[in-house]
């Protein structure tokens, strides 16, 4: 009887002690990595996530934001391995920057796969999104929500671009995966891989003629000031963002705190997508108008011009379909075909 009681007491003690032990593994601060700062929808998304978590955990989880990919010396393509290794505890990262390590994430960089925002949603909010989250978990991170940097448009300092032939020989800064090198080579341009940090001086000094980034990034970093006067609305690829946590960090939190972190990521992501798309679409095209008012020369492609770009980059699409996985690409194509058009 006494033995039983002792055992029972030991079990009770263990039950009481375990959560405390887990609680003791909370750190005073967690490091959140992000490429862009609070002047951009992307940086705002990271800030919002940190703020919601701090508030809702009453400061138990205190997240500090590191922008400019500063935890990896500005080399944004090293961000993913650093999350795996625990140098970074949390991140709001772009599929482009993580695609060198996670080949499936190149899906969003297949040229002209995604015609509109509904197509992005059809992937991230459906079976493809779930499959990619499973891939990320296998790669040792905990994915929590999809956000958005945006459709990437083309800017340059030299001339309007409406056809692949206009790009011939021009130097463009690209980042991330070799798929971008393939795309710009297929268009007979000269791609130069460099980080966002290095891209700024390269644009100022004219080391490159142009670059590609979402309109929000073009506007917030004031690319007109560095001579990027010509903009082509070609929407050739998009980069969704992904909110993730390192698995050891995740395991150190109580179940209810994990729930808070997950829901906060989902809320910050919803707000981020809304903001990233604001001013770009039909009834509210204010971002485009803002550009034109500032003196940017904007080229909107006709259907025939777009078709010329699609055709020129088709071999890249076919090559990368195999690298990404024909099954996953097939699933994505089906989901896009079945979406409700905007």
Residues that bind ligand X2X (CB under 6 A): 35-36, 76, 94, 96-97, 149, 175, 196, 213, 217, 239
Q: How far is the CB of 161 from ligand X2X (least distance, A)?
A: 18
Q: Select 76 or 106, whichever has its Cβ closest to ligand X2X.
A: 76
Q: How far is the CB of 213 from ligand X2X (least distance, A)?
A: 5
Scored b (16 or more CB within 10 A) or e, 116-135 reads bbebbbbbbebebbebbbeb
Pair 227, 287: CB distance under 8 Å = no
Q: Select 194 or 265, whichever has its Cβ closest to ligand X2X.
A: 194
Its sign, for the CA torsion 260, 36, 139, 126, is positive
Q: How far is the CB of 266 from ligand X2X (least distance, A)?
A: 22
Q: Select 35 or 123, whichever has its Cβ closest to ligand X2X.
A: 35
Q: How far is the CB of 157 from ligand X2X (least distance, A)?
A: 17
Q: How far is the CB of 146 from ligand X2X (least distance, A)?
A: 15
Q: Select 175 or 324, whichever has its Cβ closest to ligand X2X.
A: 175
Burial (CB < 10 A; 0-12, 13-18, 19+), residue 59, is: exposed
Check residue 215 and give left, alpha or beta (phi > 0: left; psi -120 to 50: alpha). alpha
Q: Select 202 or 281, whichever has its Cβ closest to ligand X2X.
A: 202
- Minimal CB distance to ligand X2X: which residue? 196
Measured CA to CA, the distance from residue 74 to residue 78 in angstroms comes to 9
Pair 146, 242: CB distance under 8 Å = yes
Q: How far is the CB of 335 from ligand X2X (least distance, A)?
A: 23
Q: Select 41 or 252, whichever has its Cβ closest to ligand X2X.
A: 41
Measured CA to CA, the distance from residue 238 to residue 321 in angstroms comes to 16
Q: Select 7 or 225, whichever has its Cβ closest to ligand X2X.
A: 225
Measured CA to CA, the distance from residue 321 to residue 323 in angstroms comes to 6
Q: How far is the CB of 27 from ligand X2X (least distance, A)?
A: 27
Pair 117, 241: CB distance under 8 Å = no
Measured CA to CA, the distance from residue 79 to residue 101 in angstroms comes to 10
Measured CA to CA, the distance from residue 95 to residue 239 in angstroms comes to 6
């Amino acid at each position: 009887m006494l033995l039983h009681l002792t055992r029972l007491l030991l079990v009770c003690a263990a039950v009481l002690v375990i959560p405390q032990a887990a609680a003791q593994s909370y750190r005073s601060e967690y490091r959140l990595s992000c490429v862009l700062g609070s002047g951009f929808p992307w940086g705002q998304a990271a800030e919002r996530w940190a703020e919601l978590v701090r508030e809702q955990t009453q400061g138990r989880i205190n997240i500090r934001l590191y922008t400019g990919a500063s935890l990896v010396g500005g080399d944004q393509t090293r961000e993913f391995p650093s999350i795996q290794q625990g140098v970074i505890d949390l991140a709001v990262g772009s599929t482009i920057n993580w695609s060198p390590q996670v080949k499936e994430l190149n899906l969003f960089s297949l040229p002209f796969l995604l015609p509109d925002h509904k197509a992005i949603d059809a992937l991230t909010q459906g079976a493809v999104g779930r499959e990619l989250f499973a891939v990320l978990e296998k790669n040792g991170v905990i994915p929590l929500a999809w956000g958005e940097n945006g459709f990437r448009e083309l800017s340059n300092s030299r001339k309007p671009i409406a056809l692949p032939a206009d790009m011939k020989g021009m130097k463009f800064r690209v980042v991330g995966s070799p798929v971008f090198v393939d795309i710009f080579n297929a268009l007979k341009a000269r791609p130069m891989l460099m980080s966002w940090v290095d891209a700024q001086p390269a644009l100022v000094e004219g080391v490159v003629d142009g670059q590609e980034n979402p309109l929000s990034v073009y506007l917030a970093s004031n690319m007109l000031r560095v001579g990027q006067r010509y903009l082509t609305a070609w929407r050739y690829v998009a980069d969704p963002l992904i909110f993730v946590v390192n698995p050891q960090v995740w395991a150190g939190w109580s179940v209810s705190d994990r729930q808070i972190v997950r829901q906060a990521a989902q809320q910050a992501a919803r707000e981020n997508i809304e903001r990233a798309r604001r001013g770009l679409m039909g009834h509210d095209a204010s971002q485009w108008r803002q550009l034109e008012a500032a003196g940017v020369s904007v080229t909107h492609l006709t259907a025939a011009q777009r078709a010329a770009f699609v055709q020129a980059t088709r071999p890249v699409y076919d090559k990368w379909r195999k690298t990404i996985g024909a099954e996953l690409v097939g699933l994505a194509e089906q989901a896009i075909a079945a979406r409700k058009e905007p």
